[in-house]
């Protein structure tokens, strides 16, 4: 069987790929955009919105929050969590995000993996 030695070799080659995937999954990437809409009411001039999604297992860092600063609105666009994430981490992430401004949450597919009532109570307590 000549293919057998290739199996361990393929496993060794996969290690850097998995390391890269893990690092990318825990990376915070902040993209700043200015949007001009002529028909938007003047009340929204200089309105600052922070949209974040797919937090999953990450911890919201103070460096990210410092870069974001205060906002007129924070929108969590789903997948704040996933199965296996400690509730304390979810609570801390929500408190951190809510410190930037009024916070709104949209359910994602991973957010319903744990008891929705538990998630709702965490949301109401944190924001």
Domain boundaries defined on the chain: 29-126
Note the helical H segments in 5-68: 6-25, 62-68
Q: Which CATH class is domain 29-126?
A: alpha beta
pLDDT at 28: 72
CA distances from 100 to 13, 36, 67, 84, 89 (A): 42, 23, 11, 26, 17
pLDDT at 19: 73
Which residues of the chain fall short of a pLDDT of 70? 1-13, 18, 21-27, 127
pLDDT at 2: 57
């Amino acid at each position: 069987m000549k293919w057998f030695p290739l199996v361990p070799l393929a496993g060794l080659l996969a290690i850097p790929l998995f390391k890269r995937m893990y690092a990318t999954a825990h990376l915070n990437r902040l993209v700043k955009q200015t949007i001009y809409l002529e028909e938007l009411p003047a009340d929204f001039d200089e309105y600052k919105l922070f949209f974040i999604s797919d937090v999953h297992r990450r911890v919201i860092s103070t460096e990210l929050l410092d870069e974001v600063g205060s906002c007129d609105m924070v929108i969590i666009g789903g997948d704040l969590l996933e199965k296996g994430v400690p509730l304390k981490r979810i609570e801390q992430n929500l408190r951190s995000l809510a410190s930037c401004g009024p916070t709104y949450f949209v359910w994602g597919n991973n957010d319903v993996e744990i008891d929705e009532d538990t998630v709702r109570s965490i949301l109401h307590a944190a924001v």
